[in-house]
C-alpha cells in the first residue's frame, strides 16, 4: 500500500479516537487513567494499520535493543534540556531584574517513601532506571531472537506457546508501570508514522509535527490551561518542534526504545524540575513556569533551534535507501 494512503488512514483513525478519550477525560479530570488510555491509542491504531495494510508484526516498529549509548541518551537527555532552560531563565532574571521570574525551591519536591527535597531527584531516577529494566528485557529478547527460537524448538502440537511467549515478555512492563503510555505513543508516532517515511527524513519529521501537536489538543481545554492563549500556543508549538527531535532519535537508532525512554524521562523530570504545565504546579524551580518549562516558550525555542538544524542536515544529505516493509526488530 502507498505510504500516503496508510499514513492518512492512521492519522484519520488515531486522532479522532484520541480526541474522544480526551473529551471523556475533560468531562471529569479526576479520571487521570484516561490520559494513559489516550496515550495508548497511537500504538493500537499503528499496530492495527501495520497488520491490515502490510501484514507487519508489532516487532516491525523497532523493538530491538539499540545499544547502551542510545539507551542512556534516551534516559538522560531531559536533564540536558533542563540545564539549558534553567541557565536561560536565570539569564532572563538577571537582565530583567525580576527575582520572581525563576526561584529555586527544593522544599517543594515530594517523592516516594516520604522523601523531600533534592534527594527526590536521584531517588526517582533510580526508580525510572529500575522500571526501564522491564523494557530492556523485551528489547534484548527481540535482539537475540528469543520469540523465533521458542517457535523453532517447540513441537507443532505446542503451536500456541510462541504466541504466548511475546505476551509474557510484556507482562512485567504492565505490572511495574501500568499502561505504558510513553512507549505506546512512540510505537505509534515514531514506530509506525515516522518509519513509513524514513527514506525521506524531512518529510517524516514534518508530518509528525502537526499530528503530535494535534494529539495534545485536549490539554489546552483542561481547567489548568483553558483561556491562557499564549500558553496554549507555546505549548502546542513546543510539542510540534519536539516531534522533530524524537523523529531524529528514532531514525538514528532504528528503535522505539530511545524515544520511549526519552518520553518517559521527560514526563517525569520536566514537571518535577521545571514545573507541571498540565496540573499547574511548580517544581524544583518556580516562577514563570509556562515560559521556562520544556513544554513552554523556552522548550519551543530550544527544540525549534534543534529542528532547524536537523532539517538543514536532512535537506543537504543524499536520499536514503527505502526502508524494508518489515524490519527484524
What is the pLDDT confidence band of residue 168, given thresholds at 50, 70 and 90? confident
Residue 324 pLDDT exceeds 70: no
Cα–Cα dist 235/291, whole Å:
10
324 lies in a domain?
no
Percent of the chain with pLDDT over 90: 78
329 lies in a domain?
no
What is the pLDDT confidence band of residue 177, given thresholds at 50, 70 and 90? low
Q: Where are the beta strands (DSSP E) in the chain?
A: 102-104, 285-287
pLDDT of residue 175: 65
C-alpha grid cell, residue 129: 532506571
Look at the chain and report how many structural domains it folds into.
1
Residue matched to cell numbers 526508580: 127
Residue 328 DSSP class: -
Range of the domain at 111: 3-316
> What digits encode the pLDDT tens for the residues 9-33?
999 999 999 999 999 999 999 999 9
234 Cβ contact partners less than 8 Å away, ≥ 6 residues apart: 290, 291, 296, 297, 299, 300
Across 191-212, average pLDDT:
96
322 lies in a domain?
no
How much is the mean pLDDT over the chain? 91
Contact predicate 41/21, CB 8 Å:
yes
> What digits encode the pLDDT tens for the residues 207-242?
999 999 999 999 999 999 998 999 999 999 999 999
pLDDT of residue 54: 92
What is the pLDDT confidence band of residue 326, given thresholds at 50, 70 and 90? very low
Residue 262 pLDDT exceeds 60: yes
pLDDT of residue 319: 57
Long-range CB contacts (within 8 A, 24+) of 65-71: 65/136, 65/139, 65/140, 65/142, 65/143, 65/255, 65/257, 66/139, 66/253, 66/254, 66/255, 66/257, 66/258, 67/253, 70/249, 70/252, 70/253, 70/255, 70/257, 70/258, 71/136, 71/257, 71/258, 71/261
> What digits encode the pLDDT tens for the residues 43-80?
999 999 999 999 998 889 999 999 999 999 999 999 99
328 lies in a domain?
no
| pTM exceeds 0.85 for this model | yes
DSSP letter string over 210-228? HHHHHHTHHHHTSTTTTT-
Taking CA atoms, 298 is separated from 48, 89, 232, 284, in Å, by: 36, 8, 14, 17
179 lies in a domain?
yes
Q: What are phi and psi of 78, to 5 degrees?
A: -60, -30
Across 93-105, average pLDDT:
96
pLDDT of residue 296: 95
pLDDT of residue 329: 40
Contact predicate 320/201, CB 8 Å:
yes
Cα–Cα dist 76/96, whole Å:
31
C-alpha grid cell, residue 212: 503530535
Residue 273, judged by CB atoms within 10 A of its CB (0-12, 13-18, 19+), counts as buried
Amino acid at each position: 500500500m502507498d505510504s500516503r494512503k496508510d499514513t492518512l488512514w492512521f492519522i484519520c483513525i488515531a486522532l479522532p479516537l484520541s480526541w474522544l478519550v480526551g473529551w471523556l477525560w475533560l468531562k471529569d479530570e479526576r479520571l487521570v487513567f484516561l490520559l494513559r488510555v489516550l496515550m495508548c491509542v497511537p500504538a493500537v491504531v499503528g499496530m492495527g494499520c501495520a497488520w491490515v495494510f502490510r501484514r507487519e508484526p508489532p516487532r516491525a516498529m523497532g523493538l530491538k535493543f539499540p545499544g547502551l549509548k542510545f539507551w542512556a541518551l534516551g534516559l538522560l537527555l531531559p536533564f540536558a534540556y533542563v540545564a539549558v532552560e534553567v541557565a536561560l531563565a536565570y539569564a532572563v532574571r538577571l537582565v530583567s531584574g525580576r527575582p520572581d521570574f525563576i526561584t529555586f525551591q527544593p522544599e517543594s519536591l515530594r517523592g516516594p517513601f516520604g522523601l523531600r527535597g533534592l534527594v527526590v531527584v536521584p531517588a526517582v531516577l533510580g526508580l525510572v532506571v529500575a522500571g526501564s529494566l522491564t523494557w530492556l528485557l523485551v528489547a534484548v529478547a527481540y535482539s537475540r531472537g528469543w520469540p523465533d527460537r521458542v517457535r523453532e524448538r517447540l513441537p507443532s502440537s505446542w503451536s500456541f506457546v510462541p504466541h504466548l511467549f511475546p505476551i509474557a515478555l510484556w507482562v512485567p512492563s504492565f505490572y511495574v508501570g501500568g499502561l505504558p503510555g510513553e512507549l505506546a505513543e512512540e510505537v505509534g508516532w515514531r514506530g509506525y508514522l515516522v518509519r513509513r517515511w524514513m527514506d525521506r527524513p524531512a518529510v517524516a519529521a514534518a508530518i509528525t509535527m502537526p499530528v503530535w501537536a494535534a494529539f495534545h489538543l485536549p490539554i489546552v481545554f483542561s481547567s489548568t490551561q483553558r483561556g491562557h492563549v499564549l500558553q496554549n500556543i507555546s505549548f502546542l508549538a513546543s510539542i510540534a518542534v519536539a516531534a522533530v527531535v524524537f523523529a531524529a532519535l528514532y531514525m538514528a537508532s532504528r528503535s522505539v526504545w530511545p524515544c520511549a525512554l526519552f518520553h518517559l524521562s521527560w514526563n517525569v523530570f520536566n514537571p518535577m524540575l521545571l514545573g507541571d504545565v498540565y496540573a499547574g504546579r511548580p517544581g524544583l524551580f518556580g516562577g514563570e513556569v509556562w515560559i521556562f518549562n520544556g513544554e513552554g516558550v523556552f522548550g519551543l525555542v530550544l527544540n525549534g533551534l534543534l529542528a532547524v538544524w536537523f532539517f538543514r542536515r536532512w535537506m543537504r544529505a543524499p536520499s536514503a535507501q527505502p526502508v524494508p516493509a518489515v524490519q527484524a526488530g
